[in-house]
Amino acid sequence: MKLLEQKEVAGKLFWIQRQYLKTRGKWEVLPLGEKVLGYVNLDLSVQPWLQNWPTIVADQKGPISILREWGYELEHRGNSIFEAHNNYVVKKRELTDVVAIEKPLLIVGALRGSHKALCGLPKKLFYHDRFIVDTEELYSSKVILYLKPEEVTSQIEAAKIEWLRRQQLYFADKFFSASKDFGLTAIMIIGGHEEFKFEDIPQHLFELSRIKIKNTYDGRQNLTDTYKVILVNTVRLEGKTAVNLKIPEVYKPAVIGKSGIRIKASSKKLNCKIYLI
C-alpha cells in the first residue's frame, strides 16, 4: 500500500471505496461498501461520477432537441409531475475514450501505532486523520469517459442560443403569415401554453401593446399569462417619418392608450409618427 497526496488524486477519476482499518488483532481492511467510480475532492470527500454532471431543466424541450441533434445523450432525472422540477444529465462520449481503471483507492482512517508501518504510512499522521491509500490491487473494469463538464456546460448554453435563434426565425415567418398588410403589423398570441414565449420575439418587431386573454401563470411549470401582442415590423419603418397601421377597431384603444399616451410613446421610440386606420 502507498499513501497518496491529495494533489495526486484530487479531481481525477478512480474507483473509490470508503473503508477503515481494524486496530485490534491483526491489521485488515474492513470495507463499508461497494467501490464507487468517482472523484476525490480536496477535503477527501467522494463525488460519485456524474452526480454533479451538467444538467438542463427537463421542460426546455427546444434546447434539448438541439443537444440530441448534436449527438448528446440525455438521462432523465426526477419524478415530479412538473418537468420544470426535473432535469436531464447531458453526456457525450469522446471517440477514443474507453479506458481501464485498475487501481481503486481507499479512504481510510483510525490507524494506530505499528499499523502505520505495516502499510507504509508515516508516523506523523494522527489517529483521527483520514488517508488516501493506493491499495496496489488490480481492479479491471471498462469505463466510458465523457467530455469534460465545462465543455458540456458551454454546449448546453450554445444549444439554448441556437434554439432561440431558430425560434425567432420561426416567429418571424409566423408573424408574416398572420399579417394582413404584408408583414408590417400582426397580432400574435404569446405566453401560457402557446407556441411562443416573449423571448421568441425578434428584436426588429416592436410591441405596440399587449392584451391579457388568459390567466395561465404557473410558477411550477414556468408558465406566464397568455397575451395577444400587437407588433409592428421596424424594418418596414426605416426612412419613414409617418406610417399608417391597419389595426382592428377592437384593439385600437389598447394601442392608443389613455389620452393617447401609449401611441405617442411608441411614435417617439420608433422615431416615426403612427396613424391608425
pLDDT tens digits for range 86-133: 999 998 876 544 455 556 666 555 555 566 666 666 666 554 556 676
pLDDT digits (tens, 9 = 90+) for 138-191: 665 666 667 778 889 999 999 999 999 999 999 999 999 999 999 999 999 999
When mean pLDDT is compared across 23-32, 52-61, 82-91, 202-211, the lowest value belongs to 23-32
Q: Which of 127, 134, 130 is CA-nearest to residue 15?
A: 134
Q: What is the pLDDT of residue 121?
A: 63
> Does residue 23 register a pLDDT over 80?
no
Q: Considering the chain, what percentage of its residues have pLDDT values greater than 90?
A: 56
> Quick one: pLDDT at residue 26?
46
The answer to whether the CB of 66 falls within 8 A of the CB of 92 is: no
Q: Which of 269, 190, 183 is nearest to 223 (CA)?
A: 190
Other CB atoms within a 10 A radius of the CB of residue 207 amount to 15
Of the candidates 160, 161, 187, 183, the one whose C-alpha atom is nearest the C-alpha of residue 172 is 183
Q: How far is CA 130 from CA 4, 44, 210, in A?
A: 11, 8, 63
- Give yes or no for residue 213 having a pLDDT over 50: yes
247 in Cβ contact with 230 (< 8 Å): yes
Q: What's the predicted TM-score (pTM) here?
A: 0.72
Cβ-contact 112, 106 below 8 angstroms: no
Instruction: Answer with the residue of higher pLDDT: 240 or 137.
Output: 240
Higher pLDDT, 17 or 64: 64
**Residue 247: which residues within 8 A CB-CB, separation 6 or more?**
185, 208, 230, 255, 276, 277
**Cell 479491471 identifies what position?**
140
pLDDT digits 0-9 by tens, 125-145: 554 556 676 766 666 566 666
Q: Are 88 and 58 within 8 A, CB to CB?
A: yes
Q: Which phi-psi region, left, alpha or beta, contains residue 272 (left: φ > 0; alpha: ψ -120 to 50)?
A: beta
d(CA 189, CA 17): 56
